[in-house]
């Protein structure tokens, strides 16, 4: 249940092949009171997708107005469509006392860090370069050229780890989730988030 104090924004990101989506899904099953951030996009809904649950589906004009009005924590254009994180949705859930989990790529996470530096930024990495290679190849969708590009990009992205608050090795999903849960607990116990206790005493 939400508490009487503001929730915390937890940003989970990392290189391609780190397993962000799998860990995020497992976390939401383990922490049912945590709110998963819902992105806004200009692409058309796919079969089974629902507005406000999978995405907020907006027109291009609506999205560009959100950009002009600074209503997005981050945004990017991918091919012909926009994707972004609506500020109002995240901030309303935080104000209600819910923790919010945002799973996003590294570029988006760095934008969020600029617009919402009070968030907690968690960098997820695979246990080794060998495991990263196996995960990318295991998708079965990569040509030799695309694999080299993706693997090279992931190695480069690993250098961004120093921009985050925490790093979690995703060796086993359950263990990675336990580490992230420990981070969540620690952040809720930090002095800076509990100074209100002094006034209550």
The predicted-structure confidence for 112-161, as pLDDT tens digits, reads as follows 999 999 999 999 998 887 877 776 676 666 677 777 777 777 778 889 99
The SS3 call for residue 41 is strand
CB 20 within 8 A of CB 37: no
Residue in the structure block whose two tokens are 């806004």: 40
pLDDT at position 79: 83
Residue 37 in tokens: 């951030």
Residue in the structure block whose two tokens are 């009070």: 118
58 domain-assigned: no
76 domain-assigned: no
93 domain-assigned: no
192 domain-assigned: yes
CB 54 within 8 A of CB 66: no
42 domain-assigned: no
- How many CA atoms within 13 Å lie on the side-chain side of 100? 24
CA distance 24 to 162: 21
On the question of pLDDT at 75 being above 80, the answer is yes
List the domain range (segments joined by +) for residue 29.
9-37+98-200
CB 12 within 8 A of CB 124: yes
- Count of Cβ atoms closer than 10 Å to residue 96 Cβ: 13
Q: Residue 166: beta bridge partners?
A: 122
- For residue 113, give the CATH number of its domain: 3.40.50.300
Least confident of 21-30, 149-158, 189-198: 149-158
137 domain-assigned: yes
The SS3 call for residue 196 is helix
Whole-model pTM: value is: 0.87
Band of pLDDT at residue 16, cut at 50, 70 and 90: confident
Tell me how many degrees the CA angle 148-166-173 measures, rounded to the nearest 5. Answer: 65
Q: What is the total count of domains within the chain?
A: 1
59 domain-assigned: no
148 domain-assigned: yes
Residue by residue, DSSP assigns 121-187 as EEEEE-S-HHHHHHHHHHTS---HHHHHHHHHHHHHHGGGGGGSSEEEE-SSHHHHHHHHHHHHHHH
Helix (H) / strand (E) element for 15: namely none
Higher-pLDDT residue of 191, 135: 191
pLDDT at position 144: 75
- Count of Cβ atoms closer than 10 Å to residue 138 Cβ: 11
CA distance 18 to 12: 11
């Amino acid at each position: 249940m939400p508490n009487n104090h503001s929730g915390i924004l937890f940003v989970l990101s990392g290189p391609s092949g780190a397993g962000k989506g799998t860990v995020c899904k497992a976390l939401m099953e383990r922490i049912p009171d945590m709110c998963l951030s819902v992105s806004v996009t200009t692409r058309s809904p796919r079969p089974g997708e629902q507005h406000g649950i999978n995405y907020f589906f907006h027109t291009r004009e609506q999205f560009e107005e959100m950009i002009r009005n600074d209503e997005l924590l981050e945004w990017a254009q991918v091919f012909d469509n926009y994707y972004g994180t609506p500020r109002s949705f995240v901030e309303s859930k935080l104000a209600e006392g819910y923790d919010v989990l945002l799973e996003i790529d590294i570029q988006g996470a760095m934008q969020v860090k600029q617009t919402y530096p009070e968030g907690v930024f968690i960098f997820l990495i695979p246990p080794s370069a060998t495991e990263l290679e196996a995960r990318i190849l295991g998708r079965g969708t990569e040509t030799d050229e695309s694999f080299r590009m993706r693997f090279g990009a992931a190695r480069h992205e690993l250098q961004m780890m120093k921009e985050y608050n925490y790093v979690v090795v995703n060796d086993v999903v359950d263990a990675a989730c336990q580490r992230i849960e420990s981070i969540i607990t620690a952040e809720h116990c930090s002095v800076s988030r509990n100074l209100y206790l002094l006034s209550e005493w």
